[in-house]
Structure 1
Amino acid sequence: MKKIEKHDQDVIRLHNKQMILEIIKKSRPISRAEITKITKLSPTSVGRIVGELCEQGLVRETALTSVGVGRKAIMLDIDPQAVYTIGVDIGKKAIKFGVMEFSGELLHEERVEHVALQTTHEATAAVISETINLIIANKNLDKSKIIGIGIGVPGVIDHERGIVQYSSTLGWRNIPLAQFIQDKLHILTVIDNDLKVKILAEYLLGSAQGSRKTALIELGTGVGSSLIIDGDIFRGGSNSAGELGHTTLDPNGNMCECGKRGCLQTYIDESAILHEANRIKETADIQQLFAAAQNEENWAQDIISRTSLYIGITINNIVCMYNPDAVILCGDLVENYSEIVPLIEEQCGQVVWEPFRDTFKILTSELKSKSIVVGAAMLVMNNYVDKS
């Protein structure tokens, strides 16, 4: 019992520490009294945590500011260039990079066209390492200030050991990617599932700020989800929680690439939508489908309406299971065709179980294409703060 209590206390302490540091980053310079007011923590708790952050060199005291007659408050600030992290997003057709300052701002972004599925994991690791070396040289970064590299990878990831256990997108099985990169660059490297770092980014710097429990659903070439509770990513027993696309909608339904019938993604991912469209009229891509719907072609409107219904059912299932206060919709389907969002909201009004209808907000991604790079970089930054 005491061990459980100690664990809970440690989690709360780290959460409060990260929360206070984020407040200082966003509102700097800021006084201890203002932090106390925002967090509703006791002045003693705020003082102790700020003291730790100052001792670790993450926060510094700056000028005095008047807060009333005869009173001056010591303001708190950070050094944005104190440390850097590098975020990497390995996508289907390209690899994205971002250098993040301690403030959370991206100092530099870069994109390299690369199809990992058409080459080896060694070649992909080489592209990542070479590009990071070029960025360090071209931006004249002090390598000693780079505290780590975070990489968001599609698939089932053993984030503790840095291994890509399985990624159909990349064609990889049991690849120790973190060690490959770390050996080449001699910089601490961590990896995680792309949607898990994406929800971390939205929670810290995007549309989920202020949420206590957020679920994220990605809709596009595949279907996936992730969940964050009070700043902690929900991982499940093997870091595989969120494989939403392979939940069964109909055991006698469409055949999925995984070998099962009726998986959710066979109804709402892009290939499934296009397959349905092409049964009626030749449709090259999703853009053509939405153009047909805008031209009031009934067949196209029916397909989009049906897709919206299945997404609404998906949201209902997640809300019933986890009771989040926010659901973020992201991915190409909602980011490129935002007109589907009100249709999904309308379907939710019909299919979400009544006790949950007014308990959550439907949001869209604020960070969009930057979210995985930002989340991967923040993953490293959070680990650094936790262990400091």
Structure 2
Amino acid sequence: MARPERRTVRDVRRGNRAMLLRMLYFDGPASRNDLSALTGLSAATVSTMTGGLLGDDIIVEAGQVDSDGGRPRVLLRVNPRYGYAIGVDVSETHVRVELFDLDLNQLAKVEYALRPARHDPELVAMHILAGIGVVLSDAGVPAERVLGVGVGVPGIVERGADVLIHAKAFGWNGVPLGALLRAGTSLPLHVDNGAKAMGQAELWFGSGRGAANAVIVLIGAGVGATVVADGATFHGVSSSAGEWGHTKIVAGGRPCRCGGRGCLEAYIGAEAILDRAGVSTQKAGWQEELTRVLASRTPVVEETVGYLGVGLANLINLLNPERIIIGGWVGLLLGETLLPEIRAVVAENSLAQPYAASSLVLGRLGPDAVALGAATLVIEEFLNATPAAGITATG
């Protein structure tokens, strides 16, 4: 039997501070009385903690509200300019770097194109490092005000000193992306799978807000998912949970970029849809071609809806989520015009009871939510009141 972990007074204080900070971030502005009622902390503890946060400029006053017969109550909120977060989206076609304040307002952005056949780790790292310099310069933000850099990447993120990335679609097998980035920046780094990063953003601010058990799926060139259980992202024993795109939909079916056959990604990913429609992805404008194909309602589109619906039904039958959110640029393209058809296929292939308990909706944060999600990796660390040093593989 495991012995209970002993908590020191310092641990308790840090936990209380983090609880107040999270409450103000997600539910503020709030008065000290509100915070005491919401957290269960005593008025004296709230006063002491908020005094320290005000002294550090982490929170600021945000006006007043009338009280019942007494003096007006001062509202508090997180200071959006206390620090900044950089979010990076590494995808099949680009490296996008964005700078945000703590309200996650985008302050600057830069994007570097990638050729589909060229994802050299050194080139990707060079683009990320260059992008960090560009967005800081464009926004006039000094590097010492940056709380960290979040990076969303395809594939499996292996925890460790170097943060190793396994992304077969890129030809990456144990690429030490963390070490490559550390050679060019001293900013704290947080690296996670792009679908999980996007999923956290939808959970915090989008269609997943308020859901304790949900699945957020990302459908683009690649296909992945974030599984949320009891309000927390489930990563699995080796941080590879959520590789929904590589579950098998057809035994011995179409070859997938992962080296397997019959994977869901080989039927509903962007390149897979175009390949089945006879459209090459090796020429400029192929993403626009996908929009045209999906608008055509050809048999390929009907098949794609069928495969997607079965894949989503599998999630409902297996995980029993209260909500499934469809995101990613291909997922949103499909859902904007075909959501009723997708829902019909899901209903046909799900068990009645878990289907009735679940809702299927589109993401609210748009097709470019991975960089935003990557920035939330930084803010998560900030809210937990445990500033990072070095490189963190989330999970």
Q: TM-score, normalised by structure 1?
A: 0.84
Structure-to-structure mapping, 1:287-298, within 5 angstroms: 287-293=291-297
1:324 aligns to what? 321
Q: How do 1:346-385 residues align onto structure 2 when only pairs under 5 Å count?
A: 346-385=344-383
CA 1:2 to 1:260, structure 2 compared with 1: closer, same or farther past 3 Å? closer
AA partner of residue 344 (structure 1): I
SS in 1 for 2:92: coil
Whose RCO is larger (CA < 8 A, sep 6+)? 2
Aligned to 1:313: 310
Describe the shift of the 1:72–1:108 C-alpha distance in structure 2 as closer, same or farther (beyond 3 A).
Answer: same
Change (3 A) 1:220 1:129: closer
Partners in 2 of 1:228 and 1:12 — Cα distance? 27
Cα distance, 1:59 vs. partner? 2.6
> Do the aligned residues in 2 keep the contact of 1:159 with 1:191 (CA within 8 Å)?
no
Structure 1: distance between partners of 2:193 and 2:165 = 11
Q: Compute the displacement of 1:123 (Å).
A: 2.5
Give me the whole-angstrom Cα distance separating, in 1, the residues matched to 2:301 and 2:232.
34
Assess if the C-alpha contact under 8 Å between 2:327 and 2:367 holds in 1: no
Which residue of 2 is the match for residue 178 of structure 1? 178
User: TM-score, normalization: structure 2?
Assistant: 0.82
Deviation of the 1:194 alpha carbon:
0.5
How many residues were matched structurally?
372
Whether the 8 Å contact between 1:207 and 1:363 is mirrored in structure 2 is yes
Deviations 1:313-335 (A, max 9, x none): 21121122222111111223332
Deviations 1:24-58 (Å, cap 9, x if unpaired)?
A: 23554321344566x5x4353x8757854653533
**Which structure 1 residue ranges, 5 or more long, are not aligned?**
294-299
Query: What CA distance in whole angstroms lies between the structure 1 residues aligned with 2:316 and 2:239?
Result: 20
1:331-359 Cα offsets, whole Å, 9 max, x none, are 23332242122211121222211111221
Moved more, 306-315 or 321-330: 306-315
Identity of aligned residues (%): 24
AA paired with 2:200? L
- CA gap of 1:165–1:53, structure 2 versus 1, over 3 A, is farther
In the alignment, the residues of structure 1 paired with residue 293 and residue 214 of structure 2 have an alpha-carbon distance, to the nearest angstrom, of 31
Query: Are residues 6 and 272 of structure 1, via their aligned partners in 2, closer, same or farther at CA, if it must alter by over 3 Å?
Result: farther
* Aligned mates of 2:252, 2:131 — CA distance in 1: 47
RMSD value, Cα: 3.2
Q: Residues of 2 paired with 1:64 and 1:229: CA distance? A: 37
Determine the structure 2 residue equivalent to 1:105.
105
Tell me which residue corresponds to 1:245.
Answer: 245
Work out the CA distance in 1 between the residues paired with 2:77 and 2:25: 7
SS in 2 for 1:228: strand
| Residue matched to 1:195 | 195
1:1-388 correspondence to structure 2 within 5 Å: 3=3, 21-25=21-25, 28-35=28-35, 39=38, 41-42=39-40, 44=42, 48=45, 51-52=48-49, 54-56=51-53, 57=56, 58-60=58-60, 64-115=64-115, 117-118=117-118, 120-278=120-278, 285-293=289-297, 300=298, 302-337=299-334, 338-386=336-384, 387=386
Asked whether the 8 Å contact 1:117–1:169 carries over to 2, the reply is no
- Residues 44-77 of structure 1, C-alpha deviation per residue, up to 9 Å, x if partnerless? 3x87578546535333456553222234323212
Contact 2:169 2:257 in 1 (8 A): no
Whichever residue aligns with residue 302 of structure 2, its letter is: S
Q: Which structure shows the higher helix fraction?
A: 1
Mark the CA change 1:177 to 1:256 in structure 2 (over 3 Å): closer, same or farther: closer
